Amino acid sequence: MSDPQDPFSAGERLAPPRRQPEQKPERPQRPERKRHQSLGARLLGGLVFGIYRFIFAGAVLAIAAGVGVFFYFSANLPSVDSLKDYKPPLESRVYASDFQELGSIGSEHSIYVTYDQIPPIVAQAFISAEDRLFWSEPGINPAAIVRAALTDITLIGTGRRPIGASTITQQVVKNMLLDNHITFATKIKEALLAMRVSQVMTKQQVLTLYLNEVDLGHNSLGIAAAAQTYFDKPLSQLDIAQAATLAALPKAPTNYDPFLHPADSLARRNFVISRMLADGAITQAQADAATQEPLLPRAGILDQGIPDGGYFADAVKAQLISQFGADTVNQGGLIVHTTIDPALQKAATDAVRDGLEQYDHRHAGWHGLVTTIDTPNLATSWQKPLAKLATPPGMREAWRLGVVLNAGAQSALIGSIDPASGAAQTGSLPLANMRWARLRGHGAPSAVSQVLHTGDVIMVSGQGNDLSLEQIPIVQAALFSIDPNTGRVLAMVGGWSHGVSPFNRVTQAQRQPGSSVKPLVYLTAMEQGVQPDAVVLDAPFVEQLSDGTVYRPGNYEQTFRGPVPLFHALEQSLNLATLHLARQIGLPNIATTFQNFGIVNPMPPYYPSAIGAIDTTLWKMVTAYAALDNYGREVQPTMIDSVTNPDGTVLYQAPGESCPGCTNGTPTQPPQLSQPGTQVADPDSAFQIITMMKGVVLRGTGVPAVVGISQPVAGKTGTTNNFNDAWFIGFTPGIVTGCWIGYDQPQGLGNDETGGSVCGPIWNEYMKAALKDQPDLDFAAPPGMSLEQVPEPDGEMVTEAFKPGQTPGAQDQNSLLGGNDTGLGASTGAPGTTPAPGQPGAASPPANGGSSLGGLY
């Protein structure tokens, strides 16, 4: 029932009343926009959205491309692990007996230094020049890379090389892990590897690698080698200017070479100094002082090692390569201590050059013109063209180049550059100082102008108005000196100059030794019991060979002395007496002696061999004489005392070597060697020959060799047919030295140019230096030997050695006068005759036979 008071009836409560919408206050209406404004807005919005999409897509693509490039170039990159344990290839260092450096052996000049051995100023110079952000960058310089990339884009298609933006780390990567070809691909690889290197290595390790491997020109890798090359200094002694000079080189070692391009090198050096100043590494005062410093106060590349040691160094290198292999020698950093004595090496070089000059002035005439300067107004403009000329190889230290400014009758005006100060100077060359310079086919010049002409560039020595004309001889010589007690090589000169010709005439030249082999013939007789005073016939010797050729040699003097004692025949180097002796004692026995002493193997079984018609070397002849000096005990020459690797491990030590002065394995004085050697001859017989050879230099052909020498000397001359070869080999109890002189293409040295007259003075000059301050020790007689007086043919009494049981004059004086005195023996191969060709042990017979075979004197 409905309540009449209720405003709602029952039916109406089932459906709630509808709510009327709320009325909002009216807002002012905006004016309607024009249609074209609405369209512009829509277009702008679409453009902005499109740009956003493009940028987003580009970013996605760039990231994808970067990831792709990274994975593409990372796929085949070399490992950087090798750099952490890198051991650089090191050249081997060779030292003389006094531990002075002789030279180096290697494909590249390099000296490895550790980080703590690198002077900070040197490291800073390279950082300022090459990579100022080195200590803070992650192996690359992104800003520099962007700048380089933008520049490189403009170079596409031009054929020009892209520019680099390499940090020091990138340069290490490029030099040690990649090649030097600059392309976009290699630059990407370089950057990737540089970042990897920065993650696995410290900055100190990277800098150490860089400074040891950077190419600084003149085949010098690394700062230590370059300091030696350019300044002849150890790295620790470089100053600011010198450090900057080296730091200027990596950009372009050839273009900034201080030897070839001093102006460009100086400008680049000063730029590096300015960078060091800007980086705060040096003060303004230091920069100013360094900028004013000369570029190269001393050119180390021109003065390395022991002067004139090239022949010995080559021989050492050959032995090392034979023993250890080329790779180990050239890259293994071996430390080689050798036997050479620098003072004796210099004395030997001076003696050889002095002797060759003297011979050249006697025979060769003028052939020393270097070049000519053809320039207007030569009298006032000669300095620059002369200064540009390179020094000819082989020019002696006291010589210099000069240009003829005027040539008159009695003198020539010479312009030259003082080698010490670099100042231009003039001097006078008088006729008296060049009279030797005759023209070919003419006598001594009567006027300077006959030989020299204005503009000629020549070699001169002396100062002021006393200049002398000089030239490098064509004739060659060699000198070889060893210690006979140990075999240690003391000096080796293989020619006038290693720079002129590296051919070593000590070890490589096969020449006829002539009469220098005769002591071994007479030794063979002594071993058969013949006494030194036994008589041999000096008379015509004729030998008919199986092919009908007649061998009929003569003596140097073309005379015959009849019966003479053996010691006199050796003193006077009598060919015919020696050949008659050879016939009596037998060629096979002589061949055995020659072979045992190592001068030839086998000896051609012909009589000319007994007087030196064989081929051998100065090395072998001096070695044989060393065995004589050692009373018949074999001596093996040695050039190397020891070889160690970089960590100090001994790889080789000369046989019998002891080192009483060693401290912790490092020698502080030359080592001592004791080599037993094989006894190749009876000591008593060897002493008899030594005594006879003392007579050679006192009374015989070797007298010129010992003028002014007080120590007892034994020796023998050698002169071959047509005076093609001249020899003198002599020894004291402590040193054996041999000299040879001749032309590389055999030709006569000239009449009467014998071993005594040509080689004797060279030997004499050297041995005076070698024997200076040495005691006058004589050769000790073996037990039981006696020294007795015997007469020379002219009645002079001389001293000879006799074995136990021998008495002077007691031997049958006819014992060596019998046999086939005519010499016309059939060549049946029997003792005393020449074996026929084709028989066992026979060699080809001497060409044409005749008197031209064998030694002369």
How distant, in Å, are the alpha carbons of 99, 583, 741 from that of 441? 50, 45, 24
Overall size of the chain counted in residues = 857
Helix, strand, coil % in the chain, rounded to nearest 5: 35, 15, 45
> If you search the block for the tokens 């050679």, which residue do you land on?
696
Tokens of 165: 């933006």
- CA dist., res. 766 & res. 713, Å (int): 14
**Pairing relationship of beta strands 672-673 and 220-221 according to DSSP bridges:** unpaired
Residue 156 DSSP SS3: coil
Could you tell me if 145 and 131 are in contact, meaning their C-beta atoms sit under 8 angstroms apart? Answer: no
Cα-based distances in Å from 827 to 64, 817, 833: 97, 21, 6
**Catalytically annotated residue among 91, 108, 130, 765:** 130
Contact 423, 417 (CB under 8 A): yes
Return the amino acid letter for 524.
T
Reference 748, options 354, 363, 480; nearest CA is: 363
Which class for 77: exposed (0-12), middle (13-18), buried (19 or more C-beta within 10 A)?
A: middle
**Spatial CB neighbours of 748, under 8 Å, sequence gap ≥ 6:** 722, 723, 724
Write phi, then psi, for 467 (nearest 5 degrees). -75, 155
Structural contact between residues 658 and 672, judged by C-beta atoms closer than 8 angstroms: yes
Q: Are the CB atoms for 573 and 857 separated by under 8 Å?
A: yes
Two tokens, residue 520: 């071994």
Quote the crossing angle between the two packed helices 575-585 and 587-596, to the nearest 10°: 100
Residue type, 648: G
Phi, psi of 738 (to 5 degrees): -125, 145
Reduce the DSSP state of residue 586 to 3 states and report it. coil
Report residue 738 as tokens: 């041999």
Phi-psi region of 280 (alpha: psi -120 to 50; beta: other; left: phi over 0): left
Catalytic choice (166, 515, 642, 827): 515
CA dist 74 and 81 (Å) reads 15
Alpha helices in 75-119 (DSSP H): 81-84
Q: In this structure, what DSSP letter does residue 157 have?
A: T
Reply yes or no on whether 515 is catalytic.
yes
Where do we find the tokens 């070397």? 617
**Closest C-alpha among 238, 219, 215, 217 to residue 227:** 238
Residues identified as active-site: 130, 515
